[in-house]
C-alpha cells in the first residue's frame, strides 16, 4: 500500500473511532471519509495503470478495500443511510483482507505486513458485528479498537515506510501492537457488558403509596 495513503488511512480511522464513541458529528466525519476514500481509490488506479507484473496489480488491488469503505461511510453519513449494508460489506472486506494477510506471509515472505492485514481483517469483522448484526454493546469497544489500530497499523507504519525503515520492523513488534489493540478491545467490551451497580434511591426518589 502507498505510504502516503496508509498515513491518511490512519487519520480517517482515528476520526471514525471517535465517531463510534459519539465524539464526532457523523456529517463532519463523512466529509473527511470522502477525501480519504477518493485518495484510496485514485492511488490503486494509478498503480495498476503503471503495473508490469501480476504481483504489482495484486498489491494495488487491496487498496480498493479501504477506498470503497470510506466512500461508503462518507456518502452514508452525509445522506443518513442505514449502516446495515456497510456492515455486510465489511464482512466481505474482512474475508478478503485475511487472504491478503496470508498472501503477504506465504508468498511474499513479509510477515509484518501480513500481520497488518490480519489486524485489519479483525477490525472489519468487528464493524460487521456492530453494524450488520446490531451488537451495539460492542460499539464503544469497536471505537477504541479503531483508534488504536489507526495508530499501530496505519499512522506509525506509514511514517516508517516514508522513512524507508520498514525492513527493520520485526514480527514481534507488530504482534505486540496487535495484542495491545485486542487487549483494549476486550477491556472495553467486558466493562460495557458488566451490570451497572445498584444505586440506592435518594429520599426524593422514594415513592410512598397513597391509600384510597
Per-residue cell: 28: 463532519
Nearby residues of 91 by Cβ (< 8 Å), 6 or more positions away: 124, 125, 128, 132
Using CA atoms, how far apart are residues 155 and 124, in angstroms rounded to an integer?
18
Asked whether residue 111 is assigned to any structural domain, the reply reads yes
Element (H, E) at 47: helix 26-49
- For 128-150, what is each residue's pLDDT tens digit? 999 999 999 999 999 999 999 99
Asked whether residue 210 is assigned to any structural domain, the reply reads no
Asked whether residue 64 is assigned to any structural domain, the reply reads yes
Q: How far is CA 183 from the centre of its chain?
A: 16
Asked whether residue 92 is assigned to any structural domain, the reply reads yes
> How many beta carbons lie within 10 A of that of residue 135, not counting itself?
15
**Cβ atoms of 64 and 41 closer than 8 Å:** yes
Q: How far is CA 128 from the centre of its chain?
A: 11
Asked whether residue 115 is assigned to any structural domain, the reply reads yes
Instruction: Residue 195: give the domain boundaries.
Output: 3-205
Asked whether residue 22 is assigned to any structural domain, the reply reads yes
Which among 124, 76, 74 has a CA at the least distance from the CA of 99? 124
- For 102-136, what is each residue's pLDDT tens digit? 999 999 999 999 999 999 999 999 999 999 999 99
pLDDT for 197 equals: 54
Using CA atoms, how far apart are residues 119 and 173, in angstroms rounded to an integer?
13
Asked whether residue 212 is assigned to any structural domain, the reply reads no
CATH of the domain at 42: 1.25.40.600
Asked whether residue 153 is assigned to any structural domain, the reply reads yes
When divided into structural domains, the chain yields a total of 1
Amino acid at each position: 500500500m502507498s505510504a502516503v495513503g496508509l498515513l491518511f488511512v490512519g487519520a480517517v480511522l482515528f476520526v471514525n473511532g471517535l465517531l463510534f464513541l459519539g465524539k464526532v458529528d457523523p456529517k463532519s466525519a463523512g466529509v473527511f471519509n470522502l477525501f480519504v476514500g477518493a485518495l484510496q481509490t485514485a492511488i490503486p488506479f494509478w498503480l495498476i495503470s503503471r503495473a508490469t507484473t501480476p504481483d504489482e496489480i495484486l498489491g494495488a488491488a487491496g487498496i480498493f478495500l479501504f477506498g470503497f469503505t470510506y466512500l461508503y461511510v462518507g456518502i452514508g453519513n452525509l445522506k443518513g443511510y442505514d449502516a446495515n449494508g456497510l456492515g455486510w460489506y465489511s464482512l466481505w472486506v474482512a474475508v478478503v483482507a485475511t487472504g491478503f494477510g496470508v498472501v503477504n506471509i506465504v508468498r511474499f515472505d513479509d510477515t509484518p505486513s501480513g500481520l497488518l492485514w490480519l489486524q485489519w481483517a479483525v477490525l472489519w469483522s468487528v464493524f460487521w458485528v456492530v453494524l450488520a448484526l446490531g451488537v451495539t454493546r460492542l460499539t464503544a469497544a469497536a471505537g477504541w479498537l479503531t483508534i488504536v489500530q489507526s495508530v499501530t497499523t496505519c499512522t506509525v507504519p506509514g511514517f516508517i515506510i516514508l522513512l524507508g525503515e520498514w525492513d527493520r520492523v520485526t514480527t514481534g513488534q507488530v504482534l505486540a501492537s496487535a495484542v495491545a489493540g485486542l487487549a483494549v478491545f476486550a477491556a472495553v467490551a467486558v466493562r460495557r457488558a458488566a451490570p451497572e451497580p445498584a444505586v440506592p434511591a435518594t429520599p426524593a426518589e422514594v415513592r410512598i403509596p397513597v391509600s384510597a
